[in-house]
Amino acid sequence: MKKNILFYLPLLMFSLIAFSCEFDNETEISTAHENDFPENVEMLEYSSNSITVAWDFVDGATSYTVQLLNAADTDYPAYTYTTTTEDYYMFTGLSRRENYYARVRANFPYSAVSGWAYLMDGENNARIMTAYGIVDPDFETTEVKLIANSSSTLTVAWSFTDFLEMESEIGNTYTVELFHDEAGEDLYISWEEIPTNLFNTTTRPLRFTFSGLESGKDYYVRVSDVSTDLQTRAYKFTTGAALPAVGGDVILSQDFSRFIHGGDILYDAAGYSRGSGPGRATWEKAEGKNPVDPDNGQATCNASAEFNVFDGGNVMPAYTEGAGMKDWGKHGNTSTRPGYIKMGGGSAGATLYTPEFSSLTGTSTLKVRFRAAMYMEGANSYGEDMLVQVVEGATFNAKGSISNQSSVTVISEKRVSLLEAEGDFTTFEVELSGVTPTSRIAFASDYAKASANKTRFLLDDIVIMK
């Protein structure tokens, strides 16, 4: 037994010495190529779900390891691949919502490796997103945009992928929230799980108009995709300045800020609705969490929803007065839209009459400033001109509908072309003479164009000055 131990002992000692020498030798070699980085690391191409990273060959390297990281400062890769014969690699099956950072190292014999060479964007590690490529550090695909604002409205659009590829999101369900604060703790209003049939799925599918807001105030909008459990941050948007924002002696102004019900036909956005019957007996703001009242039908609505503010769908005088239209009058269809009024319906025209100017002491000449837009449905326009008139003798019933249209006398008139107001509001100003304390100013369709179905327009921000 001792003989056997003595016989094998020299062999064991030799093996340990040899292993020690080999280990020391490998330790020394493993740092020999640490500065032999792959050069010209670049993104060769990208798609909606792939990123291809390329680099230059390094002399003596036997393979290359390429990695994608989800953060610029991490050493834990999301994806790793080692290639022996190529100087590029395509990562596939990637998420379009993730951030990726790429790096490559060269591998050498005896387990030696170089340091990591990163794909760079200037002096920073490049941030890569599928379908976008290299993007800025503050680039966001989950985004809420301001489409338009007025003194009382904010119209926003959103996307969780790409505003050019929103069709993929049409079938999802969304919650939109409006806060007074950036932290999202002081809620003004929210609409929970808005059904997708409220959005126009052929042009601008994901838009919503918040109405009845304070002028010149910051609000914060947050959107949640209920279908995917994703949520945006809170985006700050500011409403416009209150009227009148003009000089001169203002004797009347109307910004329709209390028009909070109806879909937004101009910006193709969903909005708030107000049901028929009891819901239109009195004007009432919508606020709080999901203010859907089964008794009055206050809820969300699509862009085509509207009703005649004076008498449509069982509207009562209390609603018209609450909407800020006391002592105003109308002929034809004058419909609620969020923050503005829609004039005309079908091929029929409409006229909106101001209150009388009882504060005047005699016959005056007045300047009338207003914003108007051509009424359109898609690419089709349904209005070319509107008339601004001084009228006498108009009388109205309790709801504000004119009762003696044929007896009204037009004292003076100005025609306004709406051809330059396609797709958005344009500001106009006219001067009218012959205004007396019993006069009204009327904003009217050109009824002569009824047969051509060119009698509709949108009206906002009326300011009348001496």
CATH of the domain at 176: 2.60.40.10
Let me know if residue 27 belongs to a domain. no
Helix (H, G, I), strand (E, B) or coil at 12: helix
- Return the C-alpha torsion angle 263, 269, 272, 274, nearest 10: 20
Let me know if residue 18 belongs to a domain. no
Q: Given this model, what pLDDT does residue 95 score?
A: 80
Among candidate residues 135, 152, 169, the one where a domain is terminated = 135
Give the C-alpha separation, 324 to 310, whole Å: 11
- In which domain, by residue range, is 144 found? 140-242
Closest listed residue to residue 349, CA positions, set 332, 330, 334: 332
In order along its 466 residues, the chain shows pLDDT tens digits of: 334 444 444 444 444 444 444 444 444 557 789 999 999 999 999 987 899 999 999 999 999 999 999 999 999 999 999 998 899 999 999 887 788 999 999 999 988 999 999 999 999 999 998 877 898 887 777 789 999 999 999 999 988 876 655 666 777 889 999 999 999 999 999 999 988 788 876 666 789 999 999 999 999 999 998 887 888 899 999 999 987 656 668 899 999 999 999 999 999 999 999 887 888 999 988 889 988 776 777 889 999 999 999 998 889 999 999 999 999 999 999 999 999 999 999 889 999 999 999 999 999 999 999 999 999 988 889 999 999 999 999 999 999 999 998 999 999 999 999 999 999 999 999 999 999 999 999 999 999 999 999 999 999 999 999 9
Let me know if residue 325 belongs to a domain. yes
Report the Cα 75 to chain-centroid distance in Å. Answer: 37
Let me know if residue 456 belongs to a domain. yes
Note whether 260 and 399 are same-domain residues. Answer: yes
Report the Cα 194 to chain-centroid distance in Å. Answer: 15
Structure tokens at 150: 């007025």
Note whether 211 and 353 are same-domain residues. Answer: no
Q: Given this model, what pLDDT does residue 76 score?
A: 94
What is each CA distance from 93 to 48, 50, 51, 156, 323, in whole angstroms?
A: 9, 6, 9, 32, 54
- The whole-model pTM stands at 0.75
DSSP character at residue 72: T
Note whether 224 and 264 are same-domain residues. Answer: no
Let me know if residue 377 belongs to a domain. yes
Helix (H, G, I), strand (E, B) or coil at 56: coil
Structure tokens at 95: 């998420």
Place of tokens 């416009």: 240
Note whether 52 and 159 are same-domain residues. Answer: no
Q: Which residues contact 4 (CB under 8 A, 6 or more apart)?
A: none
Let me know if residue 8 belongs to a domain. no
- CATH number of residue 274's parent domain: 2.60.120.680
Q: Is the link from the previous residue into 244 a cis peptide, with omega within 30 of 0? A: yes
Note whether 319 and 352 are same-domain residues. Answer: yes
Let me know if residue 187 belongs to a domain. yes
Q: Which residues contact 52 (CB under 8 A, 6 or more apart)?
A: 43, 44, 45, 46, 88, 89, 90, 91
Note whether 67 and 156 are same-domain residues. Answer: no
Helix (H, G, I), strand (E, B) or coil at 399: coil
What is each CA distance from 405 to 219, 386, 394, 410, 440, in whole angstroms?
A: 44, 18, 7, 11, 13
Among candidate residues 135, 162, 177, the one where a domain is terminated = 135
Place of tokens 């070699």: 29
Structural domains of the chain, count? 3
Burial grade of 91 (CB within 10 A; 0-12, 13-18, 19 or more): buried
Note whether 83 and 153 are same-domain residues. Answer: no
Note whether 296 and 438 are same-domain residues. Answer: yes
Note whether 234 and 283 are same-domain residues. Answer: no
Q: Which amino acid is at 430?
A: V
Q: Given this model, what pLDDT does residue 153 score?
A: 97
Note whether 238 and 249 are same-domain residues. Answer: no
Q: Given this model, what pLDDT does residue 340 score?
A: 98
Let me know if residue 3 belongs to a domain. no
Give the C-alpha separation, 219 to 284, whole Å: 21
Closest listed residue to residue 241, CA positions, set 270, 213, 210: 213
Among candidate residues 116, 135, 154, the one where a domain is terminated = 135
Q: Which 3-state string (H, E, C) describes 330-388? A: EEECEEEECCEEEECECCECEEEECCCCCCCCCCEEEEEEEEEEECEECCEECECEEEE
Note whether 272 and 128 are same-domain residues. Answer: no
Encode burial over 258-271: b for 16+ CB neighbours within 10 A, e otherwise. Answer: bbbbbbbbbbbbbb
Q: Given this model, what pLDDT does residue 21 score?
A: 45
Note whether 116 and 204 are same-domain residues. Answer: no
Give the C-alpha separation, 104 to 258, whole Å: 61
Q: Given this model, what pLDDT does residue 176 score?
A: 96
